[in-house]
Amino acid sequence: MLPLNALRAFALTVDKGGVRAAARELAVSHSAISRHLRELERYLGVALFERSGGSRGFTATAQGRRLAVAVLNAMNDVRGAMDAVREQRSPRAVTLSVAPSFAARWLLPRLAEFERRHPQIEVSILVEQRLDDLRAVGSDLAIRMGAGPWPGVSAQPLMDDALYPVMSSTAWQKAGRPSVPGDLCRLRLLHDRDPFASWSLWRSQHGPPSLDVRKGARFSSSDLVLRAAAQGLGVALARHRLIGDDLETGVLVRPLGTLSVPIAKAYWIITRPGGEARHATTTMVAWLRQAAEDTGRRTSVP
């Protein structure tokens, strides 16, 4: 049986110029790529790399380069065949790629409204945080958070956002009802690993300068950090668009009132550059824009 994973890892290592770059491309560890390369050399019984012994590692042999070109060409042929199959899908189907927190806290609560308005369109949701080629991940469009636009994709701003501290009502009462930025120094900070929702942004705008943003628990998504705050584990820096009904129902409170950090163009719609627009895709894009506009009217960013 052909070692297909090893072949792909090898071809990308040559194409990207190194093991670390290939590991980033495949979202695996450096050691996993190295194991694949050793496995492939054992399978073939020939050296594919010239070990230099230096700090920069090794380069491909002539045989290795020829094999890498052949594998890359084959991968492109397979990708083209898959794209052709995808294009034969029903024109009523659309696949949307979104980050986990955005899916859970913004998209899913509104998806029933889209299906009510457009019952003929079949929607699939792909939870994905990387900004990859949409064809490669099987999506028609994506929504991403961050400081776009990005090279190589077609990106249009969807809506803005704002950051502000939140905590559970019980935790707020137990902490003596903190109400000014200086009170944050005696609270346990909860961190979102999203770099665009960091406590450093808050400190630079509202302080206090003595706030130690290195301390506190860290969570891999905005949804998790808000859930942690709701459980009374500390004070989180919330994205306004993702907080949902937690403020209205009293699950979370804003101890510092209306103080916030605005984020312009916080969410983006990513589409295939130069691709042919399908009816289902254009309908979804139009609905997303309308939903964002409706959200802005009902819950304006403070």
- Mark whether 219 and 296 lie in a shared domain: yes
What is the residue-level pLDDT of the chain in tens, covering all 302 positions? 778 888 888 888 888 888 888 888 888 888 888 888 888 888 888 888 876 654 455 688 888 888 989 988 888 777 766 665 555 556 788 889 998 999 999 999 999 999 999 999 999 998 876 666 666 566 788 999 888 777 777 889 999 999 999 999 999 999 999 999 999 999 999 999 888 899 999 999 999 999 999 999 999 889 999 999 999 999 999 999 999 889 999 999 999 999 999 999 999 998 876 555 678 889 999 999 999 988 765 556 66
Exposed, middle or buried, 116 (CB in 10 Å: 0-12/13-18/19+)? exposed
Q: What is the pLDDT of residue 85?
A: 56
Q: Are residues 53 and 172 in the same domain?
A: no
pLDDT of residue 137: 61
Range(s) of the domain holding residue 289: 91-302
Domain boundary residue, one of 66, 86, 106: 86
- Looking only at the bridges linking them, the beta strands covering 261-271 and 141-145 are antiparallel
Instruction: Please indicate, yes or no, whether residues 57 and 128 belong to a single structural domain of this protein.
Output: no
Whether residue 157 sits in one domain with residue 262:
yes
Number of structural domains found in the chain: 2
Q: Is there a contact between 37 and 3 (Cβ–Cβ < 8 Å)?
A: no
Is 119 found in the same domain as 76?
A: no
- Do 75 and 195 lie in one domain? The reply is no
* pTM as predicted: 0.68
Residue 125 has phi, psi (to 5 degrees) of -110, 125
- Considering 86, 119, 150, which residue would you say is the last residue of a domain? 86
* Res 243: pLDDT: 93
- 243 and 123, same structural domain? yes
Which pLDDT score, from 0 to 100, does residue 64 have? 86
For the chain, the three-class secondary structure string (H helix, E strand, C coil) is: CCCHHHHHHHHHHHHHCCHHHHHHHHCCCHHHHHHHHHHHHHHHCCCCEEECCCCCCEEECHHHHHHHHHHHHHHHHHHHHHHHHHCCCCCCEEEEEECHHHHHHHHHHHHHHHHHHCCCCEEEEEECCCCCCHHHHCCCEEEEECCCCCCCCEEEEEEEEEEEEEECHHHHHHCCCCCCHHHHHHCCEEEECCHHHCHHHHHHHHCCCCCCCCCCEEECCHHHHHHHHHCCCCEEEEEHHHCCCCCCCCCCECCCCCCCEEEEEEEEEEECCCCCCCHHHHHHHHHHHHHHHHHHHHCCCC
The verdict on 44 and 75 lying in the same domain is yes
CATH of the domain at 65: 1.10.10.10
Confidence (pLDDT) at 55: 42
